[in-house]
Amino acid sequence: MATKKQYQETSVGLNEKDRVRLAELSRLQGRTKTEVAREAIRWYMDNYENIKNQSRDSEVAQAIRYATDQIVKAINGGVERICRMLARQGAQIGTLYEFSYMVLPDDPNAVAVFEAASSKAKQNQRKHVERDEAELAEAMKKVLTK
């Protein structure tokens, strides 16, 4: 009774450069060209999904980098606009402060009341800024830990 062949023949065409490389590799390993080619084909089939996904993963990583860059640019643009707005408002508030101080009566009590009100306003503003900074820091922690 004839035994069934373990392997079926498959023909692969190689150019001269690849045939020389295959012959050299098989000579170095002390194996036949068929054994080396069979191992290479098995390795490729075993790793095909990883090879195929590398390209997709690279594209996803590139898209994430692009989106991150766009977000950073938008944030930086927003920060610049906010800083310019705050500078304008600071100049306007300074003008109002100076104007208010200039029109105070010569009464020393009026100057003391004005300075006390100014000091209280600055304290309140500092509290609001500190609270806002704490909230922003907490929100950023949540974003960074996701």
Tens-place pLDDT, residues 24-55: 999 999 999 999 999 999 988 888 877 777 76
Compute the CA torsion angle 60, 61, 65, 67 (nearest 10 deg).
20
Mean pLDDT of the chain: 84
What is the C-alpha separation between 73 and 102, in angstroms, rounded? 43
| Angstrom distance (rounded) from CA 52 to CA 130 | 51
Domain positions in the chain: 14-103, 105-146
pTM of the full predicted structure? 0.37
* Mean pLDDT of the 127-146 span: 84
Q: Please, which pLDDT band fits residue 16 given cuts at 50, 70 and 90?
A: very high
For 63-83, how does the pLDDT look when each residue is reduced to its tens digit (9 = 90+)? 788 888 888 887 877 788 888
Confidence of residue 1 (pLDDT cuts 50, 70, 90): low
Q: What is the pLDDT averaged over residues 139-146?
A: 77
Residue positions counted in the chain: 146
Indicate the helix (H) or strand (E) that contains 38: helix 33-102
Q: What is the largest CA-CA distance in the chain?
A: 126
Q: What integer is the mean pLDDT of 124-146?
A: 84
Contact criterion met (CB below 8 Å) for 11 and 33: no
